Amino acid sequence: MSESDPIPGPVSVVVVNFDGEAYLARCLDALRAAGPGIDEVLLVDNASSDRSLEIAARYPEVSVLRLARNEGPSPARNAGLRAARNRWVLLLDNDALLQPGALERLVAALRAAGPGVVLAEPRSVFANDPGRVHYDGGSLHYAGLIALRNFYVPLERAQGAGAVQIDCAVAVALLVDRERLLEIGGFDARYFILFEDLDLSYRLRARGWKLLAVEEALVQHLGGTSGISFREGPSYPARRVYLHSRNRWIYLLKNYRVWTLCVCSPGLALYEAAGFGFALLAGAPLAWLRGKLDCLRTLGELLRARSQCQRGRTHGDGSLLVGGPLTTTPDAMAGGARRRLQRALDLALRTWWALARRLIPR
């Protein structure tokens, strides 16, 4: 199949699961009701210790690929991509409920988009509040973040219609060209979880491939990963503080050009100071520090990975990165003082980017 050929009809679905007993039946039921186009369903299980495999056994159309240990969703997605019999694969988290007609709309958007598109994601809404957007893709913030589109916005106020080109996708549900993803190494297992979708998006975009958000294709998002995901409430998980602290710098050191890191260093340092302040407020400064130390321990490995990432890229950082907006979960910034500090940080980061972007090659 050449780059300009249309997407084929059959699609493989890869559901990634770890201890998904609370979600899995709803996820698989939604796939049954999703409509035509699904050729096979693979469940990649990350050594679950709950009743997940008993639940999967109730669905004879589901093939199970069992992994020996839980190393996060990235190796599981890669295993599913390698095992799938079709070129186009829908990667689905076990807490994602694909809505009827969503797959057809994703396929139609890919066919209409023409050559060069390797990924399309549906708009993710909250399962307990389906009138509100959770994830809708975004842009590559130079501070090493996703500038999220329509984050927590009511559906009637969400911007965009049809298929919208994005620079970063969120791995709740992704329809992907498996050959292109495996060609660049798939998802990077270093992250365990968090930032692995940002990293993949950057590498695809740096090579000139296109990503789409398909606004009329919907997936409902359930509760997320226990101990890591954060939606609401006063308690921010220390495990998430650690992963954010570590993984953000893995992403930056692996992917950005050295000149980009130098030019952006004032903004990166400012965000780092703000991140440590947030870790203090969350009661997890040691988790933040441990994340930095663990990133440093992988420095030699990251330098070797850098050379692979820089080969084959056609776009410079100046054409990929943006200066804002800085998007955060509303409850994480609850309170007037925190909101004011967030706005001040966003303004400072935007201001530095307005100066720095002129110095970064496109």
How far does the chain reach from its first CA to its final CA, in angstroms?
30
Same domain, 216 and 242: no
Give the Å distances, CA to CA, from 316 to 185, 211, 258, 351, 362. 20, 17, 12, 21, 4
Kindly state the percentage of the chain with pLDDT values over 90: 86
Confidence category of residue 249, pLDDT binned at 50, 70, 90: very high
Query: Which of 168, 193, 221 corresponds to the end of one domain?
Result: 221
Q: Is residue 57 part of a domain?
A: yes
* Per-residue pLDDT band at 324 (split at 50, 70, 90): very high
Q: And the tokens for 185?
A: 């190494």
- In a shared domain, residues 244 and 151: no
Q: Give me the percent of the chain exceeding a pLDDT of 70.
A: 94
What is the mean predicted confidence (pLDDT) over 280-291? 96
Higher pLDDT, 36 or 271: 271
**In terms of residues, how long is the chain?**
362
Q: Is residue 231 part of a domain?
A: no
Report d(CA 25, CA 6) in Å as an integer: 33
Q: What is the value of pTM for the model shown?
A: 0.94
Residue 308, pLDDT score? 86
Do 213 and 246 lie in one domain? The reply is no
CA distances from 117 to 77, 122, 213, 314 (A): 19, 15, 11, 15
Is the same domain home to 270 and 309? yes
- 3-class DSSP state for residue 149? coil
Phi, psi angle pair for 200, to nearest 5°: -60, -45
Considering the domain architecture, whether residues 101 and 162 belong to the same structural domain is answered as: yes
Lowest mean pLDDT among 143-152, 218-227, 302-311, 322-331: 218-227
Identify the pLDDT of residue 227: 62
β-bridge pairing 117-126 and 38-45: unpaired
Residue 159's Cα: distance from chain center in Å? 20
Count of domains for the chain: 2
Determine if the peptide bond prior to 154 is cis (ω within 30°): no
Residue of 243, 225, 339, 223 whose CA lies nearest to 288: 243
Tell whether 211 and 246 lie within a shared domain: no
pLDDT digits (tens, 9 = 90+) for 1-32: 344 444 667 899 999 999 999 999 999 999 99
Question: At 116, which CATH number?
Answer: 3.90.550.10
For residues 249 and 292, the answer to whether their CB atoms sit within 8 Å is: yes
Question: 167 and 125, same structural domain?
Answer: yes
Residues 20 and 107 grouped into a single domain = yes
Output the pLDDT for position 2: 45
Coil, helix or strand at residue 362: coil
Q: How confident is the model at residue 336 (pLDDT cuts 50, 70, 90)?
A: confident
Q: Which residues contact 80 (CB under 8 A, 6 or more apart)?
A: 14, 16, 42, 44, 65, 89, 91
Comparing 24-28, 165-169, 171-175, 305-309, which segment has the lowest mean pLDDT? 305-309
What's the one-letter identity of residue 18? F
Asked whether residue 352 is domain-assigned, the answer is yes
- Look up the domain containing 101 and give its range: 11-221
In a domain, 5, yes or no: no
Asked whether 237 and 184 are in contact (CB, 8 A), the reply is no
- Clarify whether residues 117 and 162 are in a common domain: yes
pLDDT in tens, 196-244: 999 999 999 999 999 999 999 999 999 866 666 655 556 788 999 999 9
Kindly state whether residue 90 falls inside one of the protein's structural domains.
Answer: yes
Residues 6+ apart with CB under 8 A from 10: 37, 38, 39, 40, 86, 88
Residue 278: the pLDDT is: 92
Q: 249 with 125, same domain?
A: no
Burial of 244 (0-12, 13-18, 19+ CB in 10 A): buried
pLDDT at 4: 42
- Give the pLDDT score at 164: 97
Looking at the structure, do residues 247 and 336 belong to the same domain, yes or no?
Answer: yes
Q: Give the whole-angstrom CA distance, residue 70 versus residue 215.
A: 33
CA 281 to chain centre: 26
**Within a domain: residue 6?**
no
**354 CB-side CA count, 13 A:** 7
Q: What sign for the dihedral angle of Cα 157, 158, 159, 160? A: negative
Residue 2 within a domain: no
**Helix axes 196-206 and 238-255, enclosed angle (nearest 10):** 20
Q: Which of these, 157, 160, 357, 172, lies nearest to 267 by C-alpha position?
A: 357
- Whether the pLDDT of residue 61 is over 50: the answer is yes
The answer as to whether 233 is a domain residue is no
Predicted pLDDT of residue 226: 63
Residue 94 pairs with which residues in a beta bridge? none
pLDDT, one tens digit per residue, over 78-116 is: 999 999 999 999 999 999 999 999 999 999 999 999 889
Q: Which of 178, 193, 221 is the last residue of a domain?
A: 221
